[in-house]
Amino acid sequence: MEVINTTISEEDIAFDKEHLWHPYTSLTQPLPVYPVESAEGVRIHLTDGRTLIDGMASWWSVIHGYNHPKLNQAVVNQTQKMAHVMFGGLTHQPAIDLGKKLVNLTPKGLEAVFLCDSGSISVEVAMKMAIQYQHALGKQNRSKFLTLKKGYHGDTSGAMSVCDPVSGMHHLFRDFMPQHFFMEAPERGFEETLAAGEIEDIEMFFELHAKNAAAFILEPIVQGAGGMRFYAPQYLKEIRRLCSMHGLLLIADEIATGFGRTGKLFAVEHADILPDILCVGKALTGGYMTLAATICTRNVADTICNGEAGVIMHGPTFMGNPLACAVANASLDLLQHSNWQQNITSIEVVLKTELSKAKAYPLVKDVRVLGAIGVIETTVPVNVQETQAFLVNRGVWIRPFRNLLYIMPSYAMCKEDLEHVCRMMVEVVQQEHCFNKV
């Protein structure tokens, strides 16, 4: 593809600095942002002519790569029919097709699909479903949620209230947010088993708090933005067992892990459990548009509909947006017709081989890989600005946070590109200026 270099004017960059919030940034001390001209495959083209191999897949979402002809075509085709139409009292083929695909792809038993705007909103909807479910059963006291420390579920207020209480800035919003119950974050890694005492600790947590709770919400297997931690499937099995025993619903937030990222189509499959409610987003549209879904079992749906309200109490303006549904359908078709499992296994092998080389350096605390997720945890916080400048000069795009350098590339990334990204990450851990002194 021909790359046409245009430059965004100095004036426009100044406007951006002064007027546009970027995620988690200051308007008084803005960090540099790199102007992008276009992107295709796994490459991002900057306006200054530099090209970057993208290790982030735009925060887990662009699983097939940028500017994909099939996804582009799906957008064009749908735009020619209708970009949007309200979902209240109307329906359309893209939403019906997407509903069918989600019911078929997600673990058997998840049948009722709520299409919503973003990952955070899908978590809000899941929490509201759980409250409505308990209310319908006459359990009005069950208004709390159980969750894990070091979790992340989004930035809207309900979702934020179940994010890690320390990194989630609970103290700042203390008087505004509802208080929920946080279990210690899982300590056992993906391949480990729990000791008897650890299972008793989980049981004790349920004994103490379950009676007031509507549901347990967690990110299965991978705690993402809360620390890029991978944990043992046995936790999921135990939590599933205890939720059923104590009358709680289990909400699996697969917004980051869904659609193959961990090597299974959904991370709950590692533990062979069925959640009552599943949240998906991010990769759903191949990163083309914001769209998410909250999918629950027939039992949850029926109970809600037999309750006081008789309906689900949510219905946003852009619910089931046809353009987003059409591109999601095209993205799921691509995924299903690709060798995604083989691709992810190949990515995992490269990540393990290349990133393990970082272990030789004193700033590195841990290296871990699961599916198409590779993490280098360092002993001190990464200086994001210095690291990005270093990597951009070497043709790589990643966005570290705290003491984590991590990648979750497009499933379409070839071995050579992936090796380059990994090698540059290993270069970073040898650069003292890329880290903050503590």
Active site residues: 24, 152, 253, 282
Closer to ligand PMP by CB, 281 or 400: give it. 281
Closer to ligand PMP by CB, 225 or 295: give it. 225
Widest pairwise Cα distance in the chain: 63
CB count in 10 Å sphere of residue 139: 16
Cα Rg, the chain, nearest whole Å = 22
DSSP letter, residue 44: E
Contact 375, 400 (CB under 8 A): no
Among the listed residues 99, 119, 165, 186, the single contact to ligand PMP using CB under 6 A: 119
Among the listed residues 41, 99, 154, 220, the single contact to ligand PMP using CB under 6 A: 154
| Span 280-319, contacts to ligand PMP by CB under 6 A | 281
Residue nearest to ligand PMP (CB): 119
Stretch that binds ligand PMP, among 147-155, 294-302, 315-323, 339-347 (CB under 6 A): 147-155
Closer to ligand PMP by CB, 198 or 276: give it. 276
Instruction: State the minimum distance, in angstroms, from the CB of residue 267 to ligand PMP.
Output: 10
Instruction: State the minimum distance, in angstroms, from the CB of residue 42 to ligand PMP.
Output: 20
Torsion-angle region of 411 (φ positive above 0: left; ψ -120 to 50: alpha; else: beta): alpha
Per DSSP, the three-state class of 129 is helix
Among the listed residues 123, 210, 218, 413, the single contact to ligand PMP using CB under 6 A: 123
Instruction: State the minimum distance, in angstroms, from the CB of residue 135 to ligand PMP.
Output: 24
Encoded tokens for 131: 């409250």
Angle between helices 340-355 and 415-428 (to 10 degrees): 30
Encoded tokens for 263: 């090597």
CA distance 64 to 11: 34
Among the listed residues 66, 133, 145, 152, the single contact to ligand PMP using CB under 6 A: 152
| Span 167-196, contacts to ligand PMP by CB under 6 A | none
Closer to ligand PMP by CB, 223 or 303: give it. 223
CA distance 34 to 196: 51
| Span 20-79, contacts to ligand PMP by CB under 6 A | none
* 373-378: strand order across its sheet: 364-370, 373-378, 404-407
Among the listed residues 118, 285, 329, 410, the single contact to ligand PMP using CB under 6 A: 118
CA distance 371 to 348: 5
Site string for ligand PMP, 235-274 (x = CB under 6 A): ------------------x-xx------------------
Instruction: State the minimum distance, in angstroms, from the CB of residue 375 to ligand PMP.
Output: 14
Closer to ligand PMP by CB, 248 or 283: give it. 283
Q: Does 150 bind ligand PMP (CB under 6 A)?
A: no
Buried-state track 394-420, b at ≥16 Cβ within 10 A, e below 16: ebbbbbbeebbbbbbbbbbbeeebbeb
Among the listed residues 153, 170, 180, 209, the single contact to ligand PMP using CB under 6 A: 153
State the DSSP H helix or E strand holding residue 364, giving kind and residue range, or none if neither. strand 364-370
| Span 205-234, contacts to ligand PMP by CB under 6 A | 219, 224-225
CA distance 400 to 407: 9
Q: How many CA atoms lie within 13 A of 236 on its CB side?
A: 26
Residues of this chain that interact with ligand PMP (CB under 6 A) are 118-120, 123, 152-154, 219, 224-225, 253, 255-256, 281
